Amino acid sequence: MKQREKNQGFTLAELLIVIAIIAVLVAVSIPLFTNRLKKAREATCAANCKTLQRHIVAELLDEKDAGETPETLLPVMIEKDDAKCPSEGVFSISPSGATLETGFKVVCSKHGSVPSFGDATQREKILQILSEAKNGDKLVSRVDSGAAELPSAAKEAVATLKKAGFDFEKMGAKSWSYVRGKSEGEAFLYWSTEDISDREPGTTVPVMRYNQKTGTYTVWIATVTKKTEDTVGTYNVYDSYAGYGESINQSKDKQTYENMLQFYEKALKEQASKEQ
């Protein structure tokens, strides 16, 4: 008799309870999944917009493409890079009729545009937020992306940046560093499309740099190293920097955001060929 009772299936009440639990789990998980999927699509679209913009700038700065415009190059780059919006948005140039000299952005009809380190207003807001990063009541001398997931000034700064509408990853910066200079008003913002979180110490990566005091954009080759803080932990950071010759040897009036993008693209290709 006891053996038969053990072999009996669920009662109707038990089945209803199980079904109710499953329904609750599904109701909770679907919105979470949908939200994550939405964010993933937005991030992919933003990355594609940045890639297209960088490649269009490089083509416009190439003498062989004289006469081309951002709008004529956009469809060419979309096909070449196979860059599409995962939400079926349409890419366009903003503002219409823009040139390299006037400045432009690649925008999506579904997701709009992402902030740019080349936009003066947005850039200064970013620098202001990073300059206010503190460890307790004390301003920190530098803020690094490697510490953004750890209990640190970087984590708080990233949260503040996102509230202000600046998501560095969507802006194409997979690693970055803000370094306060020694003199008044001196600060440097370094960033790269390369993620250095898992890089071995001693390896190098091309980085873009904005010098707040001189208002110039240049390309550097940074060495990756590990940094340890007692209250934070251990994480990768940019360490020593070597100027990328063609970029830093230009006159200051030519050390623009657009020219920097071209040299950065070249530095990336050179780095990739060395790692093969």
Burial state string for 32-59 with b = 16 or more CB within 10 A and e = fewer than 16: eeeeeeeeebbbbbbbbbbbbbbbbbbb
Verify that 92 and 33 share a domain, yes or no.
yes
CA distance linking residue 212 with residue 158, whole number of Å = 20
129 with 247, same domain: the answer is yes
Note whether 139 and 181 are within 8 A (CB).
no
Find the domain containing 34 and state its range: 1-114
Q: Kindly state whether residues 138 and 104 are assigned to the same domain.
A: no
What CA–CA distance (Å, rounded) separates 94 from 98? 7
Two tokens, residue 212 = 């707040």
pLDDT at 28: 63
Looking at the fold, whether 244 and 170 belong to one and the same domain comes out as yes
Domain end among 95, 114, 133? 114
pLDDT by residue for the chain (276 residues), tens digit each? 455 455 556 677 777 788 888 877 777 666 655 666 677 788 788 888 888 988 898 888 775 557 889 999 999 999 999 888 988 889 998 888 888 777 788 889 888 877 888 888 999 999 999 999 998 889 999 999 999 999 999 999 999 999 999 999 888 899 999 999 888 889 999 999 999 999 999 999 999 999 999 999 999 999 999 999 988 999 999 999 999 988 999 999 999 988 898 899 889 888 888 876
Do 248 and 132 lie in a common domain?
yes
- Helices in the chain by DSSP H: which ranges? 2-6, 12-60, 70-81, 120-131, 153-163, 245-248, 257-275
3-state secondary structure 105-128: EEEECCCECCCCCCCHHHHHHHHH
End-to-end CA distance of the chain: 72
Over residues 169-221, the pLDDT tens digits come to 888 899 999 999 888 889 999 999 999 999 999 999 999 999 999 999 999 99
Three-class SS state of 9: coil
* DSSP H helical ranges for 145-220: 153-163
CA distance 237 to 197: 8
Say how far apart CA 270 and CA 184 lie, in whole Å. Answer: 36
Report the distance separating Cα 146 and Cα 169, nearest Å: 13
d(CA 51, CA 256): 18
The last residue of a domain, from among 114, 133, 158: 114
Q: Identify whether residues 38 and 9 lie together within a single domain.
A: yes
Closest by alpha carbon to 224, among 245, 195, 266, 244? 195
CATH code of the domain in which 108 resides: 3.30.1300.80
